[in-house]
Structure 1
Amino acid sequence: MTLNLSLADQIALELRADIIGGRLLPGMPLIEVDLVKAYNASRNTIREALHRLGQEGLTRYVRNKGVMVRRLEREEVRDLFVVRRTLELQAIAQSGPLADAQSDRMQSAIEATTLAREREDWRAVATHSLVFHQQIVGLMGSPLFDEFFAQVIAQLRLVFCAAPDEQRFQSPWLERDHEIYTLLVNNHTLAASEAMSLYLDDSERLSLALFDHS
């Protein structure tokens, strides 16, 4: 699917990528004048891009402070995991044997996660793990779901940033991602679905626990 993106759309996508990459953190201000210079764009274009991010649940206007990267609430996190279960489990349930390209994309995400863990770059570990789960949803072959899930993982990234100990929070997931990948490669769909269901239960529990310390 080819899209002719406006400049505002492109800027919104880049800012979303900065959120997914852990470069924009909850509570950070998005200052219009700085963005105008950074993107060589008009104020109206920047406002339009920020409005798009607001519609995606990634930014919030704060009176007397301007637009800031959002902090999510507990119930919003619960809702994100409702979405994750719906999309990721359905993607696995309807997947057949992985095509080479699908397998390669998943393997690349896991390899990137592994390298980030070796560097002890825990922020990158979280990012690449989310990319792996984006590839899971990609098994449905739906550009609309792909776009929607990109917004979901950007919101999840804002949740994970709240972990007081990123290493402890991110350490368990690489092996579990690899387990799910191996099951999918071997076409063990039911076992992969069960592993993913347990994964999401544990991830939700730990994500909600972050609010107990905030």
Structure 2
Amino acid sequence: MPEAAGCPQASGLAAGLEADRALLGRTSTAERVADILRDRIAEGFFPPGTRLSEDSVGGALGVSRNTLREAFRLLTHERLLVHELNRGVFVRVVTVDDLNDIYRVRRLVECATVRGLGEPPYAVQAVEAAVLAGERAARDRAWQDLSTANIRFHQAIVSLAGSPRADELMRGVLAELRLVFHVMADPRRFHAPYLVRNRQILEVLQSGDAVEAERLLASYLDDSQGQLADAYGRKMSRR
């Protein structure tokens, strides 16, 4: 798999991982390393096509080669990384088929979460925090932060189900979604309109109307998928 044009090597990004060492605690397990790398992928820190050097990533996190390889194996199983013989490990470049499947899962999980909320009031503090973070990022013109806030908004929606398994599933799905976002040439034009819709969904949930919130969310997902699929189509037509 060729590296995406202009994508940095992991060695140039390793310094940003050094602050994450404290998250590992005394036991640097592969699962904890995978959690850190998954979060970094979800935040856009490692773009699609980036080669993850064992020396630079392992050195930044202060973990053994065996621990790092096991973390890579876990993330490869989650379709976030891909291993190429004699070339190394790369952040995966997703396809339009991946995009469609990601949105299929999102509808199954996100819409079902809202549908099953039960009686209000709903504990939407994390949803509100994500909306506020997105609005702050937009004011600061920090478009990558806006993208991250958008992902956290949807993670917070799923967290309303109170299911650790659903939360874990969505962490992987939304990290993979971040790889899809890189197809958009102008992140501001893509993400900014959804910021308004995030607040609308929040306010409807605060009012206790889960039925309307689910309708808004389903329409939101349809529109987002359509925009991304169109962008993939344009990208493929230029090849």
Q: TM-score, normalised by structure 1?
A: 0.94
* Uncovered stretches (5+) of structure 1, i.e. residues with no partner: none
> Structure 1 residue runs of 4+, over 3 Å off?
none
Residue 172 of structure 1 aligns with which residue? 193
Q: Considering only aligned residues, what root-mean-square deviation do their CA atoms show, in Å?
A: 1.4
Percent pairwise identity: 34
* Uncovered stretches (5+) of structure 2, i.e. residues with no partner: 1-26
Is 1:94–2:116 an aligned residue pair?
yes
Is 1:124–2:124 an aligned residue pair?
no
List per-residue Cα deviations over 1:87-145 (Å, max 9, x = no partner).
1111111113144xx32111111110011111111111111111111111111111001
What is the distance in 2 between the residues matched to 1:98 and 1:129? 23
The 5 Å alignment of 1:105-124 reads 105-124=126-145
Bigger RCO (CA 8 Å, 6+ sep)? 1
What is the distance in 2 between the residues matched to 1:97 and 1:150? 26
What is the distance in 2 between the residues matched to 1:62 and 1:209? 29
Q: TM-score, normalised by structure 2?
A: 0.84
Residue 72 of structure 2 aligns with which residue? 50
Contact 2:28 2:63 in 1 (8 A): no
The 5 Å alignment of 1:189-204 reads 189-204=210-225
Residue 47 of structure 2 aligns with which residue? 25
The 5 Å alignment of 1:140-155 reads 140-155=161-176
Q: Which amino acid aligns with 2:217?
A: M
What is the distance in 2 between the residues matched to 1:190 and 1:13? 34
What is the distance in 1 between the residues matched to 2:155 and 2:176? 13
Contact 2:110 2:154 in 1 (8 A): yes
| Alpha-carbon distance, 1:170 to partner | 1.0
